[in-house]
Amino acid sequence: MSVDDVVTYTIENRIAWVKFNRPEKRNAQSPALNRRMLEVLEELEFRADVGVLVLTGEGSAWSAGMDLQEYFRDSAAKGLAGTRKAQSEAYAWWRKLRWYQKPTIAMVNGWCFGGAYGPLYACDLAVAAEEATFGLSEINWGILPGGGATKVATNSMAWRDAMYHTLTGEPISGSKAAECKLVNEAVPLAQLKERVTEIAGVLLKKNPVALKAAKDAVRRVMEMTYENAEDYLIRAQEAADSFDAEGRKEGMRQFLDEKSFKPGIGTYDISRHKR
Which positions touch ligand COA (CB under 6 A)?
A: 25-26, 28, 60, 64-69, 111, 113-115, 137-138, 141
Give the helix ranges, DSSP H, for 67-135.
Answer: 74-76, 79-98, 117-122
| Separation between Cα atoms, residue 153 and residue 165, nearest integer Å | 8
To ligand COA, the closest distance from the beta carbon of 7 in angstroms equals 17
Sequence-separated (6 or more) residues with CB below 8 Å from residue 48: none
To ligand COA, the closest distance from the beta carbon of 59 in angstroms equals 9
Cα 56 vs. chain centroid, distance in angstroms? 10
| Separation between Cα atoms, residue 67 and residue 114, nearest integer Å | 10
Give the strand pairing for 15-20 and 61-63.
Answer: unpaired
Q: Which residues of 100-137 are buried (b: 16+ CB within 10 A; e: fewer)?
A: bbbbbbbbbbbbbbbbbbbbbbbbbbbbbbbbbbbbbb
Return the closest-CA partner of residue 120 out of 45, 181, 40, 207.
Answer: 181
To ligand COA, the closest distance from the beta carbon of 245 in angstroms equals 46
To ligand COA, the closest distance from the beta carbon of 116 in angstroms equals 7
Closer to ligand COA by Cβ: residue 67 or 89 = 67
- The terminus-to-terminus CA distance of the chain in angstroms comes to 43
CA quadruple 58, 197, 207, 273: dihedral sign: positive
To ligand COA, the closest distance from the beta carbon of 9 in angstroms equals 22
Q: How many Cβ atoms are within 10 Å of 215's Cβ, its own excluded?
A: 20
To ligand COA, the closest distance from the beta carbon of 6 in angstroms equals 13
| Separation between Cα atoms, residue 123 and residue 117, nearest integer Å | 10
To ligand COA, the closest distance from the beta carbon of 112 in angstroms equals 9
| Separation between Cα atoms, residue 232 and residue 196, nearest integer Å | 31
